[in-house]
Amino acid sequence: MDYELMVIFTPVLSEEDYTAAQKKFADLVTENGGTTVHSNPWGLRSLAYPIQKKTTGLYWVLEYQAPTDLNEKLKIQLNRDETVLRYMITRLDKYATAYNTRKRTGTDAQPKPAEA
């Protein structure tokens, strides 16, 4: 199954801690039988509403393929981590996966038929 994980980390993390936190969760996916497709650190963004009295957060999006039972292990680790403000795991259908591929590469994932 294809999934997308979006995490909002606390904005007080240093660049090294932010990178280490990303690596920690990406490694957790690969250690439990999943594969990472794409990692996209968005960096510091404003939040729509304050979370734990913070108005900004460090965003990170991870696209991965994994067995379904991995998500529960991932949720446990995300809930335990005090640097995580919020997270969301989304299951991607074939259209969302194709859209993400097109967006990443800047080309069409589906080849267009040649006109006669």
Residues 66-108 pLDDT 10s? 998 999 999 999 999 999 999 999 998 888 888 888 888 876 5
What single-letter amino acid sits at 94?
A: K
In-domain check, residue 86: yes
DSSP strands (E only) in the chain = 2-9, 35-51, 54-65, 84-92
Q: What is the Cα–Cα distance from 8 to 40, expressed in whole angstroms?
A: 12
In-domain check, residue 51: yes
Q: Which domain holds residue 10?
A: 2-94
In-domain check, residue 101: no
Q: What is the Cα–Cα distance from 109 to 100, expressed in whole angstroms?
A: 9
User: How many independent structural domains does the chain possess?
Assistant: 1
- Any idea what the CATH number is for the domain that residue 45 is in? 3.30.70.60
DSSP state at residue 79: H
Closest CA to 7 of 52, 69, 18: 18
Check pLDDT > 60 for residue 47.
yes
In-domain check, residue 67: yes
In-domain check, residue 103: no
Check pLDDT > 60 for residue 24.
yes
In-domain check, residue 112: no
DSSP state at residue 1: -
